[in-house]
Amino acid sequence: MKESIATDIETKVFYSIVKHLKNDCWRLEAEYNEFDKAIDFDLYFFTKEHETCILGWTNWFEGEIKASDKTFAEIGKALGINFKFGNPNNIEDADFLDRMKILIKQKT
C-alpha cells in the first residue's frame, strides 16, 4: 500500500490527530519517552488492522505523519483537515524507527 508523508502540521492539529487515533481504536505501539517529550520532540507509532501511522513532531518543523492514502482520507474527513505533502524533516526514511528505538517506549 502506498504511503506518503504529510508535512507542516500545526502543533494543535497534530495533537488533535493523536487524540483522534486513540479514540478511533488505533493501537499505540510505541511513543517517544524522554525528558523533552512534547517540548522539543515527540513521536507516536500506531497500528490498526493492516495499517500503520507514524507521527513525528518538533518545535522547529511542527508535525509530520507517514500513513497510507486511505488513512489520510479517513483522518481528513473525520477532522476536516486538508493535508500538505512534501519533503519531511522528522520522519526521514525507512530506518527512522530503528534509529529512534532507544528513545521510544514500546507499549504492551
Q: Structural domain of residue 20, as residue ranges?
A: 3-106
**What domain count does the chain have?**
1
Average pLDDT per run of 10 along the chain, which is 108 residues long?
90 97 95 78 92 91 94 98 90 63 60
Q: What is the pLDDT of residue 90?
A: 74
Reported pTM: 0.86
Rounded (10°) CA dihedral 31, 89, 26, 79: 130
Q: What is the pLDDT of residue 94?
A: 57
Phi then psi dihedrals of residue 51, to 5 deg: -105, 150
Q: Find out whether 3 and 66 touch, Cβ atoms under 8 Å.
A: yes
CB atoms within 10 A of CB 84: 9
Q: What are 102's three cell numbers?
A: 532507544
